Chains A and B, each alone.
Chain A
Amino acid sequence: MTRREVEVEINGGIVRRTVEPRLLLSDFIRHEARLTGTHVGCEHGVCGACTVQLDGEPVRSCLLFAVQANGRRIRTVEALAGPGGELHPLQQAFHETHALQCGFCTPGFLMTLEPFVRDADPATLDEATIREALAGNLCRCTGYQNIVKAVQLAAERIHA
């Protein structure tokens, strides 16, 4: 198989590799860039555990090939904390509301929700809206209730 050169900006650094065109972006991030915070739960685009941000938009990295990310910018869960290492308000809220148990799905939730919380208007942010925002990510442990709470708490703090 003809290999191709791929150059991706991940979390502010450049990762350049020669890869098979069929290499999934999720595998590129995990095994080539060695950023294993991005998890693979189904590899068919349903569970959302592999969600990363591509040019600022949440995407499922298992549904993209690494070559499709060539020349683009990716942000993963490892880059969510602040420059001094302080947890992002969403991470902090997950911790305080017990919004994670096994934590395997958590990076996908965080990367999906971070732009949602950033753009949310706390005045109109009701439970139904939050649940809709979560509905593309599967969690098998929490029953989602505390994730809803975490989003509410994070939105209040970010927009305070």
Chain B
Amino acid sequence: MARNGVIGSSVPRKEDESLLRGTALFVDDVARSGTLHACIVRSPFAHAKVASIETAAAEGAPGVEAVLTARDLPPGLRPIPMRMFTSGPLNDYLQHPLARDVVRYSGEPVAVVVAESRYAAEDAADLVEVEYEPLPVVLRPDDAVAPGAPLVHERPGSNRAGGFTIEWGDVDRVFAEAALVVEERIECGRHAAVPLETRGLVAEVDRLTGVLTVFGAAKIPHVNRRILASLLELPEERVRLVELHVGGGFGARGEFYPEDFLVPFCALRLERPVAWTEDRSEHLRACNHSREQVHDAALALDADGRFLALRDRFLNNTGGYVRTHGLVVPGMTAALLPGPYRWPAYRCEVNQVVTNKTPAGTYRAPGRYEANFVRERLIDIAAHRLGVDPVELRLRNLIDRSEMPYATGTHTDGHPVVYDSGDYSRLVGLTLERFDRTRWLAWKEEAVAPRRRGIGIALFVEKSGIGRWDYARVEITSDGGARVFSGGASVGQGLETVLAQICAEGLGVEYERISVVHGDTAVVPDGMGAFGSRATTLGGSAVFRSAARLRERVLELASEHLEIAASDLIVRGDRVVARGAESRSVTLAELHELSRPARVLDRGGEPFLSEHDYFLSEDMTFPYGVHCAAVEVDTETGEVELSGYTVGYDIGRAINPVLVDGQIVGGVAQGVGGALYEELTYDEEGQLVAGSFMDYLLPTAGEAPPVDVLVTEDAPTPRNPLGAKGAGEGGAAAAGAAIANAVADALGAEPTRLPLTPERIVELARGAAG
């Protein structure tokens, strides 16, 4: 493909200016005259019958316009559907926008108060009297599947909402005959995406057109428009979702939640704009949690340290309901648990389990953060038992680049997982060199008691470009620039910048002259948004193809005008010029004029310079990486200090290296949070203990480590025209694994549970000493 140096260049971001000046529009900044404010009344119980709800006092409070309970919603209203990785039996576990007879987690919406101000709405919410009859609570997934456990959902009659098994080879025989078997219960703690901007919505009905507009969409505006229209029984054309600036997503924000129905419903019912802004403690109880899994996993090896089989049965705690993601999270765990290694035999039993906690969904590297922790921990334990260098043990078992494309044998949502490209051992070598492992090995020996030092490594294969297709249109504008309309979405990752770069490459127009429109369903006909590291790979590929088609049309029109063969013309900056005779040119602004209907229809031409295209990928792409961590552990206080951290990541092709770097460093900080600090702890009655930023500890600049990033482009994907694989998740994906392995090395103990809080570190250190 043509390269003009825009792709691969770290151009400054288009998004920054308004964000830096404080003029960027986030959803809570939207001001509509006559706006009412909603406050959600939430269950204080983790599991209870709703005996009665008395709303009269709240309705009579100052400024209150309405109080709605489940009885006020349409009688035939269906629960919020799954949007991907669906499974029939899971339909019995879906959430209704407002609880009807039973509440199943603390924080579940039971009523909505709408009032003249947020203050008045919150005052009145306290006056809604709900009578609850508490029911027994079950919180741990292993307790939930034990015989006699309280049922979270009575009707389906089981707390195992669904699952499946992926298996090949004679697993039991291999384990029976293996020279070494490592078997552990490994648990990943519950934590969450926690974007800095909480969720929010403003919904209003246009009196002229009757169109319901909802501001505050994120991640998947078109998908959510379809869900909202279907729940409201409106044609999709009557519903418009608009994405504004979005203060971080990371998987959780932008899914369809109860509030995404309730706020638009109130706006329709009351015929006034209705706004809702989540507060932080509400966010921590209401927005998707993630990561809580309990694995019983085992590794079988021969005497030479060759991997013979991997066996895992795990429970994914999805909380009180199955939300939009269906089986995505545990499904991804099972699909990518094999990592970059060969497994002659494999069995992974997936169990999606409901409990009385907040429902769970995806969070950056969903299912893989957990899977990588499980697999890489088992490998290190095996290395310790065999007395082999953990790096050496890994190198013996890596898939070789000559085996690409490599069918792993697993599948996700019906698609076989086939790695597209990669040179895993090369990246291990490059990353360890960059990390300077030899130096850290020497550093380790200089630890002074009670502090100990260790280094850890973790390998992983990520996936990117889920949701297979996307849409783009590119047009020449009247001022001689170009405008991209993309089906992608921005959650703060720099989408506009990257798509403009790709458009510049495909079209030849300067980056500075390109603007990007996205996230408004009234302007962009369809799209799949931003999740699973897809916006660049799929959204970008759609832009690239549209831009390349548009370039042909631009050259064609210029050719007619200049009377020079199109093959002798190039798009350069703001104009089309003749090769070797640049004085002969026509500006894009002139071409735009020449493309108006009155100028072209007579000749049977097509008006305006605009081309759209869809991109459909045959399959996902698979970036891969290596995390290396050096830790110093205080065995008395339990503090873990990250002294060194290096990530090597091959993403095929980096569109904007500085942005890729930023994705990885930010991802590591989140991964560190889940490894050491962040845990959504509950008391035995099912109350969220870590319900504010005083207890739920996001890493600050004091905890997030300096990260050295090595991005390589050794294995471009053949599955899209850019060669690019997604970069969004690799920073988080193996942080828990690498840090746990480093702590194991430091303490001479085998941690099997994240996060490694000070209490757990001290306990491990004592166990190792005893």
Binding site for B on A (CB under 8 A): 20, 22-23, 30, 34-44, 46-47, 49, 76-78, 80-81, 87, 91, 94-96, 98, 100-107, 110, 127, 130-132, 134-148
Contacts and interface: CB of A to CB of B under 8 A. Distances in A.
A104 B16 contact: no
Contact of A41 (B15, B198, B731): B198
Given A43-B279, A103-B492, A135-B702, A141 B248 contact: yes
A20 B661 CA distance: 47
Most B CB contacts (10 A, CB to CB) among A22, A106, A141, A144 go to: A141
B662 A148 contact: no
Contacts, number: 167
B146 to A, nearest CB: 36
B393 interface: no
Contacts of A144: 669, 700-701, 704
B20 A91 contact: yes
B24 A103 contact: yes
B245 A103 contact: yes
B210 interface: no
Contacts of A141: 196, 248, 492, 662, 666
A50 to B, nearest CB: 11
B492 A143 contact: no
B656 to A, nearest CB: 9
B692 A140 contact: no
Contact of B23 (A37, A46, A47): A37
Contacts of A100: 16, 19-20
A35 B25 CA distance: 11
Interface in B659-685: 659, 661-662, 665-670
Given A41-B280, A87-B20, A148 B245 contact: no
B280 A42 contact: yes
B700 A103 contact: no
Contacts of A137: 700-701
B665 A146 contact: yes
Nearest to B62: A1
Contacts of A94: 16, 20
Given A104-B492, A138-B693, A143-B669, A35 B704 contact: no
B116 to A, nearest CB: 13
Interface of B: 10, 12-13, 15-17, 19-26, 28-29, 31, 119, 194-198, 245-248, 250, 279-281, 491-494, 658-659, 661-662, 665-670, 692-694, 698, 700-702, 704, 706-707, 731
A76 B553 CA distance: 48
Contacts of B22: 35-38, 76-78, 80, 107
A129 B492 CA distance: 28
B11 to A, nearest CB: 11
Contacts of A140: 194-196, 248, 250, 666, 670, 698
Given A22-B119, A103-B20, A106-B19, A44 B196 contact: no
A138 B666 CA distance: 12
Contact of B693 (A38, A47, A77, A98): A47
Contacts of B493: 101-102
A52 to B, nearest CB: 11
A134 B706 CA distance: 14
A95 B492 contact: no
Residue among A39, A40, A101, A146 with most chain B CB within 10 A: A101
A144 to B, nearest CB: 4
Q: Kindly list the 6 A-B residue pairs having the minimum CB-CB distance in the complex, ordered from nearest.
A: A37-B22, A102-B492, A103-B19, A104-B247, A143-B669, A77-B22
Nearest to B281: A44
Given A43-B280, A141-B666, 9 more contacts: A39-B197, A42-B280, A78-B21, A95-B13, A100-B20, A132-B702, A138-B693, A141-B248, A148-B701
Nearest to B20: A91
A101 B700 contact: no
Contacts of A127: 706
Contact of B662 (A22, A136, A142): A142
Contacts of A138: 196, 693, 698, 700
19 contacts: A36-B26, A39-B196, A44-B692, A80-B22, A95-B17, A100-B20, A101-B248, A101-B493, A102-B197, A104-B195, A104-B197, A105-B196, A105-B247, A131-B702, A132-B702, A138-B693, A143-B667, A145-B665, A145-B707
Contact of A47 (B196, B494, B670, B706): B196
Contacts of B492: 101-104, 141
A102 B248 contact: yes
Most chain B beta carbons < 10 A, residue from A104, A105, A107: A104
A74 to B, nearest CB: 13
Nearest to A49: B196
A105 B196 CA distance: 7
A68 to B, nearest CB: 17
A102 B195 contact: yes
B701 A42 contact: no
A98 B245 contact: no
Nearest to A76: B22
A134 B26 contact: no
B662 A146 contact: yes
B28 A143 contact: no
A61 B119 CA distance: 17
Given A103-B245, A104-B196, A140-B196, A44 B693 contact: yes
A40 B26 CA distance: 11
Given A41-B197, A44-B692, A78-B22, A102 B245 contact: yes
B82 to A, nearest CB: 27
A132 B494 CA distance: 28
Nearest to B283: A42
A49 B29 CA distance: 15
Given A98-B662, A102-B197, A143 B707 contact: yes
A30 B200 CA distance: 15
B659 A95 contact: no
B708 to A, nearest CB: 10
Contacts of A20: 119
Contacts of A42: 280, 692-693
B694 A78 contact: no
A124 B520 CA distance: 48
B21 A44 contact: no
A96 B662 CA distance: 13
Given A47-B196, A135-B702, A144-B704, A101 B21 contact: no
Nearest to A35: B22
Given A37-B22, A134-B700, A135-B702, A102 B665 contact: no
A34 B28 CA distance: 11
A141 B31 CA distance: 27
A36 B20 contact: no
Nearest to B671: A143
B20, B197, B693, B694: residue with the most chain A Cβ atoms closer than 10 Å: B20
Contacts of A104: 26, 195-197, 245, 247-248, 492
Given A36-B28, A138-B196, A81 B21 contact: yes
Contacts of B20: 87, 91, 94-95, 100, 103, 106, 110
B247 A143 contact: no
Nearest to B30: A36
B274 to A, nearest CB: 16
A100 B662 CA distance: 9
Contacts of A43: 279-280
Choose among A46, A102, A140 the residue with the greatest number of B CB atoms under 10 Å from its CB.
A102
Contact of A103 (B15, B28, B661): B15
B191 to A, nearest CB: 12
A126 B195 CA distance: 29
Contact of B665 (A35, A96, A143): A143
A61 to B, nearest CB: 13
B630 to A, nearest CB: 17
Q: Counting chain B CB atoms within 10 Å of each CB, which of A23, A91, A147 scores highest? A: A91
